[in-house]
Amino acid sequence: MPAYSLEQIAAITGGTCIGYMDAQYIITRLCIDSRTLVDAEQTLFIALKGETRDGHDFMEDAYIKGIRCFLISHPPAAERFSDAAFILVQDTLAALQRLAAYHRSRFQIPVIGITGSNGKTIVKEWLFQLLSKDYYIVRSPKSYNSQIGVPLSVWQMEETHQLAIFEAGISRPGEMSKLADIIQPSIGIFTNIGDAHQEGFAGIEQKVAEKMRLFTKVQLLIYRKDYPLIQRAVADLQLQRSAAQHPLEIFDWSTSEKARLQVTSVSKDLHHIRVEIYDQHQMHALQIPFTDDGSFENAMHCVCLMCWMGYDWNTIQERISRLQPVEMRLFLKHGINGCIVINDSYNSDLHSLAIALDFLQQQSSGLKKTVILSDVLQSGRDEQDLYQQIAGQMQQKGVERLIGIGPRLMEHQDIFESIPNLNGSFYPDTAAFMRAFSPDDFREEAILLKGARIFAFEKISRLLEQRLHETVLEINLQAIVHNLKLFQRFLKPGVQMMAVVKAFSYGSGSVEIASLLAYHGVHYLAVAYADEGIALRKGGIRLPILVMNPEPGSFQAMIQWNLEPEIFTLTQLRQFVREVQQAQQSGFPIHLKLDTGMHRLGFEPTQLPALVEALLQMHPYIRVASVFSHFTASEDPAQDSFTTQQAELFESMSQQILQALPYRVKRHLGNSAAIHRHPQWQYDMVRLGIGLYGVDSDPEIQKQLQPVATLKTTIAQIKHLMPGESVGYGRAARIEKPTTIATVRIGYADGYPRRLSHGKAWMLVHGQQAPTIGWICMDMLMLDVSGIPDVREGDEVIVFGEALPIQQLARWADTIPYEMMTTISQRVKRVYYQE
């Protein structure tokens, strides 16, 4: 692994060593997030400044966890880090990039740099599948292709590696030059060009030019000649290189232009793409085990590289035919006996294991942490050292149970058995584990599946997953984090964030969403009723929780579970205080709701004197944690005068309470829309609700948000009907021409409104619109799929998602996205994933 002294790192980064540790102390690991720390020894914490977070604010947490070496851009409070060493630089991100670039320069192995609008990660992973039999390869973990991800990827390079594959992605001009300096590729692959991630560029031409900067110094460039913009950019680069007397070698391919590899024929069947390729006066046939155009393009890039590397066509054909899908997502599903199952079993390298263990820790609140792990293949490391490092990761993340599958893990099981509080069991292969499997052996556990593909952990996943409805709601956890950070960028310094997770997190889930939000630093959660808060507490959520509609009958349970009530009447206040007295509690936090114009719940201005008097009398028993109100129409510019009136009234009313109480009280008024439309009224805290889930009334904000949920179902049966026949109840849909209908597994009991019957809405089948036909039934509905080719029973149907926004369904149903999201039935399986 890399090894640099603090003195060397300071010289490389242009920094200054300060503090108390020996400058010759050796650093082998880098950490940018104290939450993901695996081993503090020989680790350098890099305090990066982001748009919403400053790593310097988390140095104390890293210090408590054992880190004693820090890369910083402003000096710390010396008395708080008395035995720590610091490297002081002007810009910590630039310093990280310089350190990675220096580390890369020490290696002479071939380095492949991949960029493009799509396919970067797939090409990288497929090259690993194709070449790892012959080379010890280092590659970017997952899709680590950003200004931070690339240097962390390059830092993995070791003397034993024979080939490196790194991907590079950019979102604005000027970024690729920095990544090129870090990766220093000798071989380049430009996958394609499209509209993805174009917001930061003046146009697609500028984006192509920026991406080409990765290949300024490569020996070889592989690309598809059918993209005119890429072709022109390559020609320009060739001219520049020729003028500098450093010719660029090109290996291109095309389906229409003359190229080094000429694709002369492409045909598809149910499971394969068959390709005929003309190469140097010879014709070759290739079978790609996928049917989509993207996979065809990605596979051809890999074929080009293998040709250039000297592989014969028999080897290329054999290996391409065995390509496996690359699962880009880490899935979380509900399992048997109260378990959750995290499936990340498409590979088992050391770095992706660290990412998966971090996700396990994030989502395992209140559950026992279990890992089912296969042998780690093709690591190139000494096995004793490899499994000791894995054991250290397990111990640091608090894993309580390990099921090891594979002969290498069995051979090294003594390493894991030496870890306190880790219960281990080991099997030679997946079949042996399945023979010994009993459902009763797994209960109330968060189970991570992490296995090399050859171990076929999908069979284990099927044993552990709960058998539910085939209609599923997929929740993109990364999109939730993106939306959270977008709204955090609007906050003034010091303003806290309350995340509203009532109504099952707007239909998206309960503990899973709350765990994610807690991990990413929200300060408060808000639910509607006490039972929602109790469910979060039982799930291990420790954040303060505001109950916005508490019922008197739930007060005792709220006190027991430390849930904080919204108080909106004097009667309610007195009832709650009596319960606090009986529970022999004191200083229990409450939240006062003021009515400033919504006229739903809350104290009115005339009630404030009596409220203040009651609060002072009850002071030993309760403490006002916050005073808040609710905007009526903060999203509507036409109502801005009324919004201002509400804010002014809130200021006046809240001041009366704050001035009367002898302690500090928070105030919050802003909801999702007000966070960015009315930042002057952010006060101490804001409440983020619907915006967190990807919906905003402002078109500019909506463009920046990511959709969180995709509702999917499948086709149960296909029928071909003739004129005169009818569809569904009441024969309401009469067939006038030959029609193909698909019955799909979703109905109004799942939350799909019956009022969308008779073609008032459509779903997506193979990406094409399929309108509803006839009445929507309780558990099923019918779609007209006439004209959509190759539709089969079992095919996936998109009910809503990125290509069919939930806002569109709400418009069809004459309602709002809130209702559409919150009425999705609990019988619809929630599946959570992280890219």
220-224: strand order across its sheet: 137-139, 163-167, 111-115, 187-190, 220-224, 249-254, 261-268, 273-279, 282-288
CA geometry: angle at 355 spanning 352 and 357, to 5°?
A: 110
HEC per residue, 762-830 = EEEECCEEEEEECCCCCCCEEEECCCCCCCCCCCEEEEECCCCCHHHHHHHCCCCHHHHHHCCCCCCEE
Find where tokens 């009991």 sit.
749
Write the CA distances from 521 to 95, 484, 485, 622, 623, integer angstroms: 26, 10, 10, 26, 24
Q: Look up residue 74 and give its DSSP letter.
A: S
Among residues 20, 459, 492, 729, the one annotated as catalytic is 729
596 vs 608: CA distance, rounded Å? 13
685 annotated as belonging to a binding site for a ligand = no
Would you call 502 a catalytic residue per the annotation?
A: yes
**C-alpha span between 495 and 499 (Å, rounded):** 13
Flag whether 778 is marked binding: yes
Helix (H, G, I), strand (E, B) or coil at 707: coil
Query: Token digits for 715?
Result: 């086709």
For 116, 185, 261, 413, 605, the CA distances from 224, given in Å and listed in that order, are: 11, 19, 10, 48, 70
Task: Please compute, for residue 84, the number of CA atoms within 13 A of its CA located in the half-sphere on the CB side.
Answer: 28
Interaxial angle between packed helices 120-131 and 313-321, expressed in degrees from 0 to 180 and rounded to the nearest 10: 120
Coil/strand/helix, residue 641: helix
- The SS3 of residue 46 is strand
Ordered DSSP codes for 387-403: HHHHHHHHHHTT--EEE
Asked if residues 407 and 426 have their Cβ atoms less than 8 Å apart, the reply is no
**CB burial readout 128-140, b (16+ within 10 A) else e:** bbbbeeebebbbb
Backbone dihedral angles phi then psi of residue 44, each to the nearest 5 degrees: -105, 120
Q: Of 653, 669, 365, nearest to 496 (Cα)? A: 669
CA distance 397 to 390: 11
3-class DSSP state of 95: helix
CB 42, CB 2: distance < 8 Å: no
Catalytic residue of the set 142, 502, 593, 666 = 502
Residue 765 pairs in a beta bridge with 768, 797
Give Cβ neighbours of residue 722 (< 8 Å, ≥ 6 apart): 735, 738
8-state DSSP, 607: G
Q: Tell how strand 111-115 and strand 163-167 pair up.
A: parallel
User: In the structure encoding, which two tokens stand for residue 820, read together?
Assistant: 């559409």
Which of 560, 625, 562, 628 is closest to 589 using CA atoms?
Answer: 625
Residue numbers annotated as active site: 502, 729
Which residues line the annotated binding site?
600, 778
Which residues line the annotated binding site for substrate?
600, 778
